[in-house]
Amino acid sequence: MSKVYVSHNSIVSSLGYDSPTVVQKIKDRISGLQAVSDPTLLDQTFCASLVDIEKLPETIGNPDKEENYTRLEQMLLVSLAKVIHTSKIKLTDRVGLIISTTKGNIDVLDDDNPFPRERGYLAELSKILKDFFGFKTTPIVLSNACVSGLLAIAVAKRMISQGCFNHVFITSGDLVSKFTLSGFNAFQALSIEPCRPYDKNRSGINIGEVAASALITQDDTALADESVVILGDASCNDANHISGPSRTGEGLYRSTKLALKEAKLQPKDIDFISAHGTATQFNDEMEAIAFNRLKLQNTPLNSLKGYFGHTLGASGLLETIVGMHSLHQNTVFASKGFKEMGVSQPINVIKQTESKIMDTFLKTSSGFGGSNTAVVFKKVAE
What's the pLDDT band for 363 if we cut at 50, 70, 90? very high
pLDDT for 59 equals 80
Q: What mean pLDDT is predicted for residues 28-38?
A: 97
Q: Name the superfamily (CATH) of residues 228-379.
A: Thiolase/Chalcone synthase (3.40.47.10)
- Spell out a b/e string for 274-303, using b for 16 or more CB atoms within 10 Å of the CB, else e: bbbbbbbeebbbbbbbbbbbbebbebbbbb
Cα–Cα distance measured from residue 295 to residue 280, given in angstroms and rounded to the nearest whole number: 23
* Interacting residues of 148 by C-beta distance below 8 A, sequence separation 6+: 100, 101, 102, 142, 172, 312, 313, 314, 316, 367
pLDDT for 240 equals 80
CB 9 within 8 A of CB 224: yes
Decide if pLDDT at 86 tops 90.
Answer: yes
pLDDT for 243 equals 79
Q: What are the pLDDT digits (tens) for 166-221?
A: 999 999 999 999 999 999 999 889 999 999 999 999 999 999 999 999 999 999 99
Q: What mean pLDDT is predicted for residues 106-131?
A: 95
User: Pick from 4, 11, 42, 363: which is nearest to 214 by CA?
Assistant: 11
Q: What's the chain's average pLDDT?
A: 95
pLDDT for 102 equals 97
Q: What are the pLDDT digits (tens) for 148-160?
A: 999 999 999 999 9
pLDDT for 381 equals 75
What's the pLDDT band for 64 if we cut at 50, 70, 90? low
Cα–Cα distance measured from residue 310 to residue 108, given in angstroms and rounded to the nearest whole number: 21
What's the pLDDT band for 63 if we cut at 50, 70, 90? low
Q: What are the pLDDT digits (tens) for 231-267?
A: 999 999 988 888 788 899 999 999 999 999 999 999 9
Encoded amino acid at 2, one letter: S
* Interacting residues of 127 by C-beta distance below 8 A, sequence separation 6+: none
Residue 32, phi-psi category: left (phi > 0), alpha (psi -120 to 50), beta (remainder): alpha
Q: What mean pLDDT is predicted for residues 333-354?
A: 98
Q: How many CA atoms lie within 13 A of 6 on its CB side?
A: 35
Q: What mean pLDDT is predicted for residues 84-97?
A: 98
CATH 3.40.190.290, applies to 5-217? no
- Spell out a b/e string for 96-126, using b for 16 or more CB atoms within 10 Å of the CB, else e: bbbbbbbbbbbbbeeeebebeeebbebebbb
pLDDT for 62 equals 65
pTM across the whole model:
0.97
pLDDT for 2 equals 87
pLDDT for 187 equals 87
Domain edges within the chain: 5-217, 228-379
User: Pick from 267, 274, 197, 268: which is nearest to 228 by CA?
Assistant: 274
